[in-house]
Amino acid sequence: MDLVRFDGVTTVLILVIFFGVMLYIVRTIAKKQEDADAYMTAGNSVGFGISAGSMTATWIWASSMYASATSGYLYGISGPIHYGLWGALMILFIYPFGRRIRSIAPKAHTLAEVLYVRHGRSSQLMLAVSNVVGSVISLTSNLIAGGVLIALLTPLGFTHGVVAIAVGLLVYTVWSGFRASVLTDFIQVVAMLGVVIVLIPALFFLAGFPEAFTTGAANLTPEQSNFFSSEAFLNQGAPYIAAVLAYAIGNQTIAQRLFAVREDLIRKTFVTATLGYGGTVIGMGMFGVLALYLGMEPLDGDPNNLIPQLAATYLPTALLIGFFVLIIGSLCSTGDSDLSALSSIAMADIYGQNIAGKEKADPRVMLLIGRLTMVAATAAALVLASMRLDILDLLVFVGALWGALVFPVIASFYWEKVTNAAFTTSVVAALALFIPVRFELVDLVGPLAYAVDVLAILGVGVIAGLMAFGFFGLRTGRIVGVVAAVVVTPFAFGAVHSYAVLSASLIAYSVSTLICFAMSVNSGRTFDFSVIRQRTGNFDEKEALEPREDPLPDP
Amino acid sequence: DVIWLTIYVLVWPAVVAGILYVISRAFFAEWREARREGRDII
């Protein structure tokens, strides 16, 4: 099946106009001498509209729309909910912790930077490395999505697409860093949401709905027709609920926005982004449900092709250009955020805290390191993309790994007794148990199976407890955690070990929590959280007092 | 039934439209304020 709808000239023209607009917008805010702190967090006082737009755009990426549609195609009408809702809650459930972190480190740049002051180097690097791995994988995945889309819809090849997107991303992001990322995110989110508003109803009617709901009903199994499908919940929803806090903690792109937005606007920003992401990703996931009703077979047997396939089959050229911009915008808004996240980790964590030290760090060297990091990250992502690895599976795996970090990281920002040894030991031990369960390296039979079940049930309690703790405090968190563990026990005990991905994810939470708590509770350690405010902050304050060169003239 | 399925599919663009309105309105208010004060919006 041939989906090519654009000629080469049209494709190049769309890409040149898209990246030209981004470059023009970035040039309006560019300075000859950028501020190193603004390069990472834009001065910690970004307004609601721009930060809500940026958070929404960053969390919506091409793969999230494709995966939501895949979920709809595989699990039926509840599939997109079980993908998009939990993805949206990742944004919602992190904000209470974000407010706490901002209150103790109002001018920090990365979560790992705060951990350095709280614990020391090993905890910092543990989180920073996991952030770097996640962002490089995400960047690679976005480049692959761009290459695949261009190869599907145009005569240009996969490599042309990947290189074009990578170069475009780097050119508009490298000079102004996070400021460029956030400002272009807003433009991209307006374009993306505008297209979604038109695209879903247009495709719905052009594909013959609502009549096709009747004529195509036979294409669905009873489970796919059931809005409360247990199959959809167990295979798609439950593993994602387990990942809600893990992705949010393990992702520097969220942390960067938590540090950038004006402190009193955190809740408003993150609630709005939750709704924006949920509406868009669940809405685009409906394409998978429509494809199921139409009895459509995915191109090359890959459900990830369903959205481009539906678009190329039913949409007129004008709307198809809109669809093309939607996908390019979604992968660029996430890709530029990944570049900014990686540069801030290199600037603040590697150079600022570990090489030069906070007092001796030179803001100009820092900026150079940030820009070189973006170039290196783009090159690395290009190499990985050329290998055509199943990069999304890798991201799901890394996301589950992040579960080991959740309790130690969150507890470190609230509880003075948590020690560096407790943090690192608990994370390493959780990973050591996660790997054999996740990859089924041991036969889970007899007492071992029951042990895994018990740890997984405790993991459910930890997740529910932490979620409630963020919003309602310690007492409610404890009650919700215990109740959740008790409620799932009759269903999970004796059964959950047979779901390797789910049980491994839950074990990562429970093991790190148990060990971190056990090693901390009698540690006798005290910690003055006000120290964090003093030892994290602007690297560029000395320069801010000196006269700056004029901004570039308006283009 | 068909009516509920139609609403279920088409409610999401409506949610997205609401969010787009909220963030656009806030953005342009911030943009006007930044222009009035003679600074960049970010």
- Which one of B6, B30, B40 has the shortest CB-CB distance to A49? B30
The mean pLDDT of A150-174, rounded to a whole number, is: 92
Residue A448 has pLDDT above 50, yes or no: yes
* pLDDT more than 70, % of chain A: 96
Q: Kindly state whether residues A200 and A293 are assigned to the same domain.
A: yes
Residue A541 has what pLDDT? 60
Tens of pLDDT along A332-349?
Answer: 999 999 999 999 999 999
Would you call A46 helix, strand, or coil by DSSP? strand
Residue A411 has pLDDT above 60, yes or no: yes
What distance in Å separates residue B33's CA from the closest CA in chain A? Answer: 11
Residues B32 and B37: their CA atoms lie apart, in Å, by: 9
- Which one of B2, B19, B27 has the shortest CB-CB distance to A193? B19
Q: How many CB atoms lie within 10 A of CB A238?
A: 22
Interface contact A200-B12, CB threshold 8 A: yes
- Which one of A49, A196, A275 has the shortest CB-CB distance to B13? A196
- Which one of B5, B25, B41 has the shortest CB-CB distance to A210? B5
Size of the A and B interface in Cβ pairs below 8 Å: 106
CB A325 within 8 A of CB A191: yes
Contacts with B22 from chain A: Cβ below 8 Å: 52, 272
- Give residue ranges of A with CB < 8 Å to any B CB: 28-29, 42-43, 46-50, 52-53, 56, 77, 179, 182-183, 186, 189-190, 193-194, 196-198, 200-201, 204, 209-210, 213-214, 272, 275-276, 278-280, 282-283, 286, 289-290
Distances (CA, A) of A188 to A58, A230, A315: 10, 36, 21
Nearest alpha carbon to residue A243 among A94, A398, A399: A399
Residue A528: half-sphere exposure toward Cβ, Cα within 13 Å:
5
Classify residue A4: in a domain, yes or no: no
The encoded tokens of residue A434 equal 């996660």
What distance in Å separates residue A209's CA from the closest CA in chain B? Answer: 8
Residue A197 has what pLDDT? 95
Interface contact A200-B5, CB threshold 8 A: no
Total domains present in chain B: 1
Supply the DSSP symbol for A305.
Answer: G
Least confident piece of the model among A105-109, A418-422, A528-532, B29-33: B29-33
Residue A86 has pLDDT above 50, yes or no: yes
- Give residue ranges of B with CB < 8 Å to any A CB: 2-3, 5-6, 8-10, 12-13, 15-20, 22-30, 40-42
- Which one of A56, A194, A210 has the shortest CB-CB distance to B2? A210
Q: Higher model confidence: residue A5 or residue A459?
A: A459
Residues pairing with A46 in the sheet: A261
What distance in Å separates residue B9's CA from the closest CA in chain A? Answer: 6
> Containing domain of residue B6, as a range?
1-42
Interface contact A283-B16, CB threshold 8 A: yes
CATH number at residue A180: 1.20.1730.10
Classify residue A118: in a domain, yes or no: yes
Nearest alpha carbon to residue A482 among A500, A468, A497: A468
Residue A545 has what pLDDT? 39
Q: Kindly state whether residues A352 and A456 are assigned to the same domain.
A: no
Longest dimension (CA), chain B: 56
The encoded tokens of residue A141 equal 């995945």
Rg over alpha carbons for chain A, rounded to the nearest Å, is: 23
Classify residue A12: in a domain, yes or no: no
The mean pLDDT of A298-322, rounded to a whole number, is: 89
Classify residue A380: in a domain, yes or no: yes
What distance in Å separates residue B26's CA from the closest CA in chain A? Answer: 5
Residue A403 has what pLDDT? 92
The mean pLDDT of A258-270, rounded to a whole number, is: 92
Q: Mutate which of A228, A280, A333, A552 to disrupt the B interface (most B C-beta within 10 Å)?
A: A280
When pLDDT is cut at 50, 70 and 90, the band that residue A475 belongs to is confident
Residues A31 and A38: their CA atoms lie apart, in Å, by: 11
Residue A292 has pLDDT above 90, yes or no: yes
When pLDDT is cut at 50, 70 and 90, the band that residue A388 belongs to is low
The mean pLDDT of A512-529, rounded to a whole number, is: 91
Contacts with A46 from chain B: Cβ below 8 Å: 42
The mean pLDDT of B10-18, rounded to a whole number, is: 96
Residue A390 has what pLDDT? 67
Residue A136 has pLDDT above 90, yes or no: yes
What distance in Å separates residue B36's CA from the closest CA in chain A? Answer: 15
Mean pLDDT computed over every residue of chain A: 89
Q: Kindly state whether residues A425 and A382 are assigned to the same domain.
A: no
Q: Kindly state whether residues A174 and A280 are assigned to the same domain.
A: yes
Classify residue A40: in a domain, yes or no: no
Q: Kindly state whether residues A175 and A89 are assigned to the same domain.
A: yes
- For residues A123-155, one letter each, b for 16 or more C-beta atoms within 10 angstroms of the residue's C-beta and e for the rest, the string is bbbbbbebbbbbbbbbbbbbbbbbbbbbbbbbe
Distances (CA, A) of A191 to A86, A275, A278: 24, 17, 17
Instruction: Specify whether the backbone of A44 is left (phi greater than 0), alpha (psi in -120 to 50) or beta.
Output: left
The residue of chain B with its CA nearest to that of A46 is B42
Q: Kindly state whether residues A308 and A361 are assigned to the same domain.
A: yes
The mean pLDDT of A508-526, rounded to a whole number, is: 92
Residue A391 has pLDDT above 70, yes or no: no
One-letter amino acid of A458 = L
Residues A463 and A240: their CA atoms lie apart, in Å, by: 12
Residue A550 has pLDDT above 60, yes or no: no
Q: Kindly state whether residues A377 and A418 are assigned to the same domain.
A: no
| Residues 6+ away with beta carbon under 8 Å from A9 | none
Residue A205 has what pLDDT? 95
Q: Mutate which of B3, B5, B11 to disrupt the A interface (most A C-beta within 10 Å)?
A: B5
Cis peptide before A222 (omega within 30 of 0): no
Question: Of A231-235, A417-421, B29-33, where does the model show the most confidence?
Answer: A417-421
Residue A392 has what pLDDT? 62
Which of the listed residues A330, A359, A390 is the one where a domain comes to its end? A390
> Containing domain of residue A435, as a range?
402-525
Q: Mutate which of A50, A289, A548 to disrupt the B interface (most B C-beta within 10 Å)?
A: A50
Residues A44 and A38: their CA atoms lie apart, in Å, by: 8
Residues A332 and A165: their CA atoms lie apart, in Å, by: 8
Tens of pLDDT along A185-226?
Answer: 999 999 999 999 999 999 999 999 998 999 999 999 998 998
Which of the listed residues A390, A412, A447 is the one where a domain comes to its end? A390
Residue A493 has pLDDT above 70, yes or no: yes
Q: Kindly state whether residues A57 and A170 are assigned to the same domain.
A: yes
CB A197 within 8 A of CB B20: yes
Classify residue A26: in a domain, yes or no: no
Residue A539 has what pLDDT? 86
Nearest alpha carbon to residue A152 among A14, A17, A312: A312
One-letter amino acid of A208 = G
Contacts with A79 from chain B: Cβ below 8 Å: none
Q: Kindly state whether residues A130 and A171 are assigned to the same domain.
A: yes
The mean pLDDT of A128-139, rounded to a whole number, is: 91
CB A44 within 8 A of CB A76: no
Q: How far apart are the first and last CA of chain A?
A: 45
The encoded tokens of residue A3 equal 């989906």
Q: Higher model confidence: residue A58 or residue A243?
A: A58
When pLDDT is cut at 50, 70 and 90, the band that residue A43 belongs to is confident
Q: Kindly state whether residues A414 and A386 are assigned to the same domain.
A: no
| Residues 6+ away with beta carbon under 8 Å from A513 | A407, A426, A458, A462
The encoded tokens of residue B21 equal 């309105």
Nearest alpha carbon to residue A150 among A366, A385, A373: A385
- Which one of B3, B19, B26 has the shortest CB-CB distance to A48? B26
Residues A210 and A222: their CA atoms lie apart, in Å, by: 19
Residue A552 has what pLDDT? 42
Interface contact B16-A52, CB threshold 8 A: no
Residues in chain B: 42
Interface contact A197-B13, CB threshold 8 A: yes
| H or E segment to which residue A364 belongs | helix A363-386
* pLDDT more than 90, % of chain A: 62
- Which one of A29, A50, A278 has the shortest CB-CB distance to B30? A50
Interface contact A201-B13, CB threshold 8 A: yes
Residue A160 has pLDDT above 60, yes or no: yes
Distances (CA, A) of A170 to A19, A180, A246, A254, A280: 10, 11, 28, 20, 26
Classify residue A125: in a domain, yes or no: yes
Residues A14 and A10: their CA atoms lie apart, in Å, by: 6
Interface contact B12-A282, CB threshold 8 A: yes
Tens of pLDDT along A232-241?
Answer: 987 888 887 8
Which of the listed residues A368, A390, A412 is the one where a domain comes to its end? A390
Contacts with A197 from chain B: Cβ below 8 Å: 13, 16-17, 20
Residues A492 and A227: their CA atoms lie apart, in Å, by: 22
| Residues 6+ away with beta carbon under 8 Å from A443 | none
